[in-house]
């Protein structure tokens, strides 16, 4: 949960599964020269976390080594039970594994744990999580944890601070992120931090991966305000098709667009389609795009304005997506002028009105979709292995 959002997400922990490599199926055929991938890097058009290039300057680098300080904290009103540290250490571990796996090894996370439970200077109820945590209250909480740990912990190389509250302290109820910490310890100006509250004990490691996504510059894809005609549906934009949306859902793999933003997907894996010429490309499953097949085409992008594009990616029941209801062509729009929590990415539903909401959103081979603003027709076909052939014919 980024510090600026007004609702929080339920995040389910999933186990890592192996991704089997398959023969490369990359294929491109253009009636005219296709624009380079750089022309599809829509420029950022907000001053917050968003979906444009480059990611907002509040972000930490997503390539290289990320040094994380994990502080386990308890309170005078809720001391951690004897022997509970091992559970706390293991609860979030799968989130680190997730990030390293989906980045294809581009991100290496080095975690240094506090040696034991760090006692906070105030009781848990003095931090008003349940009354609506302000930025100032959150910074005070993180700052108290750093100060309490500083005598025994070296923060000189720390990039991000993770503060993990004891399971006993239910009043530390949820897990917000701040990219504007402004605390100095051991000569290091600390700017990024996450609080892991009571929700971590239900949802496990992917809460760490989601919140770290904010530290790396990614927006929330669930809605801060539900649609007027569907007032309980905060997940009307992308459902469970990305870690930054409803990742208690079926498909918590990062979208190919997010992988590209973070530098985990290379420009050569992006097919940038012109509006005035026919484009055909074969794309591999996004689940394999940064792991088993990191040189194959992974998505097709059709820019329709300076800040908006249509993206097609191939989603299959493998990797972290092994529980998806429907495989196929996931079509979505990206609008870099839309802020975090307001729908910067919107999934196109191939089966509107179905009982499965967006869980069955992908288009099946043999079907097509017409982009309404340009009239471009997108057609989807099976390809060798588990590849997907996408053809875009320009509108009249």
Q: Which residue, 172, 170, 216, 173, is CA-closest to 192?
A: 216
In this predicted structure, the answer to whether residue 137 has a pLDDT above a threshold of 90 is: yes
Instruction: Please tell me the predicted confidence (pLDDT) of residue 2.
Output: 53
Instruction: Please tell me the predicted confidence (pLDDT) of residue 77.
Output: 97
Q: How confident is the model at residue 188 (pLDDT cuts 50, 70, 90)?
A: very high
Q: What is the DSSP letter of 108?
A: E
DSSP strand pairing (188-190 vs 183-185):
antiparallel
Instruction: Please tell me the predicted confidence (pLDDT) of residue 240.
Output: 95
In this predicted structure, the answer to whether residue 13 has a pLDDT above a threshold of 50 is: no
- Could you state, in order of their start, the residue ranges of all structural domains in the chain? 27-57+219-393, 64-215
- How many CB atoms are closer than 10 A to CB 174? 18
- How many CB atoms are closer than 10 A to CB 170? 15
Containing H/E element for 112? Answer: strand 107-113
Share of the chain above pLDDT 90, in %: 83
Average model confidence (pLDDT) across the chain: 90
| pLDDT tens per residue, range 272-318 | 999 999 999 999 999 999 887 778 999 999 999 999 999 999 999 99
Structure-token match 């007004």, residue found: 6
Q: How confident is the model at residue 263 (pLDDT cuts 50, 70, 90)?
A: very high
Q: How far apart are CA 369 and CA 380, in angstroms?
A: 9
Q: What is the DSSP letter of 147?
A: H
Which tokens belong to 370?
């017409």
Contact of 14 with 321, CB cutoff 8 Å? no
Contact of 162 with 116, CB cutoff 8 Å? no
| pLDDT tens per residue, range 214-229 | 999 999 999 999 999 8
End-to-end CA distance of the chain: 44
- Determine whether 278 is exposed, middle or buried from the number of CB atoms within 10 Å of its CB (0-12, 13-18, 19+): middle
Q: How far apart are CA 318 and CA 21, in angstroms?
A: 11
Residues contacting residue 293 through CB under 8 Å, at least 6 positions apart: 21, 22, 24, 284
In this predicted structure, the answer to whether residue 25 has a pLDDT above a threshold of 60 is: no
- How many CB atoms are closer than 10 A to CB 7? 14
Q: φ, ψ for residue 142 (rounded to 5)?
A: -65, -45
| pLDDT tens per residue, range 323-333 | 999 999 999 99
């Amino acid at each position: 949960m980024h510090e600026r959002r007004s609702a929080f997400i339920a995040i389910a922990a999933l186990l890592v599964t192996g991704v089997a490599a398959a023969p490369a199926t990359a294929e491109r055929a253009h009636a005219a020269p296709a624009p380079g991938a750089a022309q599809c890097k829509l420029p950022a058009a907000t001053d917050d976390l968003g979906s444009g290039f480059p990611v907002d300057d509040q972000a930490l680098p997503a390539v290289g080594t990320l040094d994380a300080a994990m502080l386990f904290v308890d309170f005078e009103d809720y001391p951690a039970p004897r022997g509970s540290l091992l559970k706390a250490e293991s609860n979030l571990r799968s989130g680190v594994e997730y990030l390293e796996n989906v980045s294809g090894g581009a991100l290496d996370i080095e975690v240094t744990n506090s040696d034991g439970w760090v006692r906070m200077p105030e009781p848990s109820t003095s931090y008003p999580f349940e009354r609506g945590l302000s930025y100032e209250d959150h910074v005070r909480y993180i700052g108290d944890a750093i100060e309490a740990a500083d005598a025994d912990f070296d923060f000189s190389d720390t990039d991000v601070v993770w503060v993990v509250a004891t399971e006993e302290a239910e009043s530390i109820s949820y897990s917000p992120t701040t990219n504007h910490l402004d605390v100095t310890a051991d000569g290091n100006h600390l700017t990024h931090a996450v609080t892991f509250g009571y929700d971590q004990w239900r949802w496990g490691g992917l809460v760490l991966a989601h919140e770290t996504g904010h530290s790396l510059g990614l927006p929330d894809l669930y809605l801060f305000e539900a649609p007027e005609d569907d007032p309980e549906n905060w997940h009307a934009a992308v459902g469970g098709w990305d870690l930054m949306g409803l990742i208690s859902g079926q498909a918590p793999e990062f979208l190919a667009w997010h992988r590209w933003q973070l530098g985990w997907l290379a420009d050569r894996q992006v097919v940038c389609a012109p509006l005035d010429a026919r484009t055909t490309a074969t794309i591999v499953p996004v689940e394999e795009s940064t792991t088993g097949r990191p040189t194959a085409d992974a998505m097709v992008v059709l820019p329709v304005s300076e800040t908006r594009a249509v993206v097609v990616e191939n989603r299959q029941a493998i990797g972290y997506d092994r529980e998806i209801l429907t495989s196929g062509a996931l079509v979505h729009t990206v609008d870099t002028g839309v802020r975090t929590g307001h729908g910067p990415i919107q999934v196109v539903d191939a089966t509107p009105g179905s009982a499965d909401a967006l869980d069955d959103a992908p288009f099946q081979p043999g079907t097509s979709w017409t982009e309404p603003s340009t009239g471009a027709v997108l057609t989807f076909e099976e390809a060798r292995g588990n590849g997907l052939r996408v053809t875009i014919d320009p509108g009249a």
